Structure 1
Amino acid sequence: MTAIPRSLVLVLGVDKYVLDACERHDVEAVVVVGAGQRDYGLQPVPEGMTVLRVDSVSSPEAVLGALHRSGYAERRFDGVQTSDEWAMVTAGMLAAHLGARAIDPVTALYFRDKTLQKRRVREAGVPAARTHVIEDIHDLGDLTELPFARAVLKPIAGAAAAMTSMVGDIGRLRALSAKYRGEHTGQRTFALEEYIPGDEWVADGVLHDGEVVFCALGRYGVPCMTTIDRELPLWLRRFDPNDEAWAYELGEPVVRRALTALGLRDGVFHMELFHDAETGTLTFGECAARRGGALVHEEVQAKFGVHLGEGALFGALGRKPEIEVKVRPETIGGTYLMGRPGTLFHCPSPKDMSALDGVEYVRVESAFGASLSSAVGSTNVRIAQVLVSASSEEALLRRFEELRVWFDERLLIAPSGPMSGLRAWQRENWPDADYRDLPWQS
């Protein structure tokens, strides 16, 4: 009897949940790891998987070179998968060359270029912000006024709200242009988007053959732009499909129409929308053809029992995911644990935090010795993240605040600044050790 060969998937970047799904479903994985992710070192590749090292997983040349050097260029891959926002189009292009399944490159482009994305969604009748393309943020050309009364400036294909700013007048836009020109920023093509007010919602789910087979809705505590501007710790919580059925009745049709307009057929998605509580309407924000960041996977798995890594892997392979939703009654959410500017010497361990009431998962992302900046700048700045369950949203928010205080009290961070400030910090934390430069006594 001939054995059925194992499926072979090319994975661009390290997503521990996709690799976990590979192990659970006996899928052979060749994992391409970029220099940045290797240097960061947070997520190791499981033993037994083939690792190809490249400078960048978003470079087709780098990935093809690694495949040829390793002898894998002639292997028959069943799928190409990535959870890396920057490698979406690359995955589609490589799959076309390798004869494997993956997201179509043009579809991937619609999930990257925010102006193309919003235009297509608007054409399908889904409310979305109007946009204006700035071809080179270093040179505004003859732009003398904002196209909208209030706008959001962002890279045309960015991630995590990096380099995203509120713009209220042409003076502010010119100041940002001068700033980015002075910094010699690599990203030059930007979008000005019409500002859309409201609560910011999220939708995370799984598609198969063009149909949404699972969708989990939730909301940010405050919109991401407000989080960045005010340097607040980001937090999310999931809507309960039973107790908050109204949110699903409002949100799911919009989610489905937007995904249909964008052409995604298989895999996972992370969508953001704006909810106007007064009118009860939703406006499309943006969407990624990958799982969300922060603790999105953990929130969805904790609340619904759904493994988004499996959905992503099966989407790449063309398999229908076997989804069995089990809704927990508790309120589930995640929050960032921040720090202070300086050098991190110590923070509580995941084991210590997991022993606290309601804490279900902890990820510490900064290693001891890391330099902590005072500027937030994106939704990726934090020391750690924590997943919490509680009896209600009010109880969840109380627990978040208690955890932040508890965490902050146990941080050991050497402040930035002159040596005299460090000496004062040293005396405060080690009062019994005398390191003064005293005269020698015979």
Structure 2
Amino acid sequence: MKPKLLHVLGGGQWQVPTVRLAKALGHRVLVSDMYRDRPAYALADQHEVVDITDCEATLQLATRCRIDGIICDTTDVGVATAAFVAERLGLPGIGYETARNFTDKGRMRRLTDAAGLAVPRYHLLSSPAGLAAAAAEVSFPLIVKPVDNQSGKGVSRLSAADGLDAAYRLARSCSRSGEVLVESCVEGQEIIVDGFVVAGKARILGIAHKLPFADSPTVSSRILYRGALPEAEFERIRATVCATLSALGLLDGIFHAEFMLDGEHIVPIDIAARGGGVMIYTHVLPHVSGVNANRAMIGRALGEAVRIDPLPMPRAATIEFFSMPRGTIAEIGGVDSAAAVPGVAAVHLNLQAGDEVGPLEHKDRRPGYVVTLGDTATEVIAIARRAIALLRVRMAGAGEFTSID
């Protein structure tokens, strides 16, 4: 029997583990991406340059190649396309309308609000005409963001009306649909919940607490999976997660959600029908939960039965983001030594020699991070600190290396 053909949307570094795993499982792989030079192309059986946000062009490619399944596992921009193609070809998928619920924050707010969940006060704007009135009704501090982007791109947090017009223009420039969301800030502890839904039943694979950078409150400096939570806290979170997934219509597949713990309320902030970035999907969840969610996603896309059985006592992991001085990077040292520290799963650099270190405008502007795995929160934080202490950077114009924070 000819091996099944899995269509992977996106050919970047975050799709490389998915392509490798699918090949290791004995499947053929087709990769499509809008760019001509992508690392996953070299691993795939076939590749084509097609914009993964273009539903019709992707459908034509998938039809011509006679795919057996399609997946978009770590980027929001192709989630709706994968669902569209699967629906049109009668393949396993989450459904196009459901995908739009997870990739359009305006739809997300309306549906969770209608379901009776605690949501921020919000207004959706398609022009700047009602901006001042919307801000006055929502009240400061507030968030202005595009409805359909990711990684914090185009997001501004404002404590007063100064900069409101500029924040709207930034969000509008990052919004593919042209819609902008103005919503109240929800104060409290931000958490991430990762999991998998099978036949309408959600299983939690990990719960992490986020710590923001002091000078950039919308960008995380730490994502900490502490291990087991008190039962009452876990059940409160689980109930809100299930209600949110039900409101958005996810019956099967992976999810990566962000909530704010605000006193008695657990407020949905954002939720994606894909795996979490910064190696959560590929490195953290298998350790924390004992479940290879990537393998489950591949199996589900190809019509295989999926079982999700997380460990009864989750393990710990952390993703620690580091900073560098402003300016141009001349050289980074100590990466191999940091990666060799026991318990370090990965050291990742977003910036290289020649790149400019600027303000933390969004998540992708962080210079890099260390992923560490262990049994307790104290252990994984200590491992991360040891690894980061070994990293050094030399900025252009400087004669010596300096420590990375």
| Structure 1 counterpart of 2:45 | 49
Decide whether aligned partners of structure 1 residues 95 and 391 sit closer, same or farther in structure 2, where only a CA change above 3 A counts.
closer
Aligned residues with identical type, % of pairs: 20
| Structure 2 counterpart of 1:94 | 85
Decide whether aligned partners of structure 1 residues 372 and 97 sit closer, same or farther in structure 2, where only a CA change above 3 A counts.
same
In the aligned structure 1, how far is the partner of 2:66 from the partner of 2:187? 48
1:18-29 mapped onto 2 (5 Å cutoff): 18-29=18-29
Q: Deviations over 1:383-417 (max 9, x none)?
A: 3321123564345444444444432xx21221xxx
Look up the SS of the partner of 2:366 in the other structure.
Answer: coil
In the aligned structure 1, how far is the partner of 2:377 from the partner of 2:264? 20
State the shift of 1:203 in Å. Answer: 0.5
Conservation of the 8 A alpha-carbon contact between 1:95 and 1:102: yes
| Structure 1 counterpart of 2:205 | 215
| Structure 2 counterpart of 1:201 | 191
In the aligned structure 2, how far is the partner of 1:206 from the partner of 1:215? 7
State the shift of 1:52 in Å. Answer: 1.3
Structure 1: runs of 5+ lacking an equivalent: 415-421, 431-442
Match of 1:164 among 143, 146, 155: 155
State the shift of 1:347 in Å. Answer: 2.0
Match of 1:263 among 241, 246, 249: 249
Q: Deviations over 1:226-283 (max 9, x none)?
A: 6662597621111323x5434322211111111111111222100011113xx34312
Q: Deviations over 1:63-107 (max 9, x none)?
A: 356x2xxxx633432322112211122222223333433231111
For 2:47, the aligned partner's letter is V
TM-score, normalised to structure 2's length?
0.86
Look up the SS of the partner of 1:26 in the other structure.
Answer: coil
Conservation of the 8 A alpha-carbon contact between 2:10 and 2:32: yes
| Structure 1 counterpart of 2:349 | 364
Match of 2:5 among 8, 18, 36: 8
Conservation of the 8 A alpha-carbon contact between 2:206 and 2:314: no
Decide whether aligned partners of structure 1 residues 126 and 21 sit closer, same or farther in structure 2, where only a CA change above 3 A counts.
farther
Matched residues, number: 394
Decide whether aligned partners of structure 1 residues 349 and 91 sit closer, same or farther in structure 2, where only a CA change above 3 A counts.
farther
Conservation of the 8 A alpha-carbon contact between 2:8 and 2:32: yes
Structure showing greater radius of gyration is 1
Match of 1:296 among 280, 285, 288: 280
Decide whether aligned partners of structure 1 residues 303 and 154 sit closer, same or farther in structure 2, where only a CA change above 3 A counts.
same
For 1:323, the aligned partner's letter is I
Decide whether aligned partners of structure 1 residues 353 and 404 sit closer, same or farther in structure 2, where only a CA change above 3 A counts.
closer
Alpha carbon RMSD of aligned pairs, Å? Answer: 2.9
| Structure 2 counterpart of 1:319 | 304
| Structure 2 counterpart of 1:250 | 236
In the aligned structure 2, how far is the partner of 1:306 from the partner of 1:402? 28
Look up the SS of the partner of 1:162 in the other structure.
Answer: coil
TM-score, normalised to structure 1's length?
0.79
Structure 2: runs of 5+ lacking an equivalent: none
Conservation of the 8 A alpha-carbon contact between 2:54 and 2:81: yes
* Higher mean displacement: 82-91 or 195-204: 82-91
| Structure 2 counterpart of 1:272 | 258
Q: Deviations over 1:129-154 (max 9, x none)?
A: 232011135x5567375221232111
| Structure 2 counterpart of 1:437 | none
In the aligned structure 2, how far is the partner of 1:131 from the partner of 1:144? 8
In the aligned structure 2, how far is the partner of 1:285 from the partner of 1:230? 14
Conservation of the 8 A alpha-carbon contact between 1:132 and 1:192: yes
For 1:172, the aligned partner's letter is G
Conservation of the 8 A alpha-carbon contact between 1:208 and 1:320: no
Decide whether aligned partners of structure 1 residues 144 and 127 sit closer, same or farther in structure 2, where only a CA change above 3 A counts.
closer
1:88-127 mapped onto 2 (5 Å cutoff): 88-127=79-118
Decide whether aligned partners of structure 1 residues 358 and 389 sit closer, same or farther in structure 2, where only a CA change above 3 A counts.
same
For 1:6, the aligned partner's letter is P
For 2:108, the aligned partner's letter is Q
